[in-house]
A and B are shown apart, each in its own frame.
Chain A
Amino acid sequence: MKSLLKIISFIALAVTLVPSFLVFKGIITPELSKSLMLIGTIVWFVSASFWMNTSDENEEAEN
């Protein structure tokens, strides 16, 4: 489950970044890029909050 969430999170990061390069290359419009960045943002915050800090807590527990 955690691995799946991580994959979703990294895809979300890519969706945040890549569209701007597509705008740069003239493949998509800036408006579409902005919408994709917003989707990437929402998915990142929702998915990353399930796994990012749990690894930190595990690390502390191991000490």
Chain B
Amino acid sequence: MSSTQNLKQRLEAVNEYERTPIPKNKLKGWKSFIGTYAGEHTAGTEFVLGPLFVAHGASAGDLVSGLIVGNILAVLSWAFLTGKVAVKTRTTLYYQLEKIAGNRFTLVYNLVNAALFCFLAGSMIAVSATAVGIPFNLPMPSLTDVYPNSVGWVVTVFGIGAITTVVAMFGFNVISKFANIAAPWMIMIFIAAAVGVLPRLGINSFSDFWPVAETTIWNGVPLEGQSKFTFWHIMFFAWFCNMGMHIGMADMSLLRYAKKWTYGFSSATGVFLGHFIAWMASGILYSLFLIESKGSLVFAPGPIAYEAAGIAGAVCVVIAGWTTANPTLYRAGLAIQSINPKWKTWKVTLFVGLVTTIAACFPALVMQLLEFVALYGLILVPLGAVIFLDVFVLRKMGLASNYAELTNSHFNPAVGITWAVSLVFCLGLNIYGGIEIFFLGLPGWFVAVIVYLIASKVIQKKAVIKAADYTELNY
């Protein structure tokens, strides 16, 4: 048998249970989730988001307290919302939404979702490229760059994109295994890089740390042109930066493999290592860079990590970007594949990888990451509310779950109305109320809950649902 045929057979044998519940013998233990979450959230984004708190003038006290509270809320959301729904349904977000909202609605939703995932994965490929480009003296992007600044940048991005795509084509297992290995090492590098540069910030003993943190690293003064971040900004950002994944239910794709819903708590490894220690570590590195470069606009995590931790630091940036881009590409592949289940997973992932790599060529994707992450969560969160209500609340109110499947409908208007009203409401709050995008997720979720319950009541009242069908479709 030729190696080409063998490779094709292996790729086609990848079964990710996109349209069937995960069988019991395929469920994974808690170690798999701890590794995946730690790997995914100690990631390339951390090299970008940590410095943004410095740029936005967060004070040291606000940063520490805001991150602790926000991260706890995020973990609770993963366990009590995503974990409970994922373990009960054992399906992907996309398939579950199709049963609730109909295939025409999910077609639009999946395209939007896949595009968002592609942009997120693309920004991570770009972060990796800043490290890979070091030995080639690649000109690094700056905060104001929108377009690629050299041919070398495009070639580097395409090289990393190709490797990321090939790995993602082999499915969740390969990603999970690599994340397991990389995660403990990655957090060591983050800590080591930050600790090693402390003397250059004037910190020569542990007692020096807090006074310098308050006056030099997170001094509470935003950089020119940046808004001021308070405790509330930090808390809500820590809670909502992965809103699409927990409250928005995108992580049903991962947690459906969990034996128990409590495995949702394993996300604590990700948020407290990645969104606490790694954000603080990368903030320290960026603060030193600002001081030593006298306020340079260059924004390149690779060279900053290389300067602090040598080759190991640069490798960390590459792998951190990669372990985020890989599961994100995998999710994007699932989103596209649910449009036409006959498409092979690996072919879809190949296509998604190409789109992502092209997007990664544009540095603006990295520079606008803060706003993009907030927007990403906001767009997905109303559908998370819909799924949660449909699985746990609707039947208690005498209404039917999985309405589209039950009625053989291609479109459930209740879901469409919920999504549209929630997003228009949030847009109105942003434009007319002046409320920043980081705070809109919470009111958006509550509006979605109210609208979906009312819309379902009105629409299902008009429809005739056979009692036998209703019983058959109960979980």
A7 located at the interface, meaning its Cβ lies under 8 Å from any Cβ of chain B in the complex: no
A13 at interface (Cβ–Cβ under 8 A)? yes
Beyond A34-B312, A59-B29, A60-B28, is A13–B198 a contact (Cβ under 8 Å)? no
How far is B188's CA from A20's CA once the two chains are assembled, in angstroms?
A: 10
Main secondary structure of the interface of A (DSSP, over half): helix
Contact between chains at A37 and B189 (CB < 8 Å)? yes
Contact of A8 with B by CB under 8 A: no
Total A-B pairs in contact (CB under 8 Å)? 93
Main SS at interface, chain B:
helix
The reply on B347 being an interface residue by CB < 8 A is no
B312 touches which one: A26, A30, A40 (CB < 8 A)? A40
- By size class, the interface of chain A is 20 to 34
Q: Which of A1-56 contact B (CB under 8 A)?
A: 13, 16-17, 19-21, 23-24, 26, 30-31, 33-35, 37-38, 40-41, 44-45, 48-49, 52-53, 55-56
In the complex, the answer to whether B180 meets A52 with C-beta atoms within 8 Å is yes
Chain A residues with Cβ below 8 Å from B31 are 55-56, 59
B189 partner residues in chain A, CB cutoff 8 A: 16, 37, 41
Task: Flag if B309 contacts A37 (CB, 8 Å).
Answer: yes
C-alpha spacing A28/B25, complex, angstroms: 51
A-B contact pairs, 10 of them (CB 8 A): A16-B188, A24-B203, A37-B310, A38-B310, A40-B188, A40-B312, A41-B185, A49-B181, A59-B28, A60-B28
Q: Beyond A37-B189, A48-B185: 8 further Cβ-contacts under 8 Å?
A: A16-B192, A17-B191, A20-B193, A24-B204, A40-B312, A45-B181, A45-B185, A63-B27
Give residues in B with beta carbon < 8 Å to A.
24-29, 31-32, 35, 176-177, 180-181, 184-185, 188-189, 191-196, 198-199, 203-204, 309-313, 315
The chain A residues found within 8 Å of chain B, CB to CB, are: 13, 16-17, 19-21, 23-24, 26, 30-31, 33-35, 37-38, 40-41, 44-45, 48-49, 52-53, 55-56, 59-60, 63
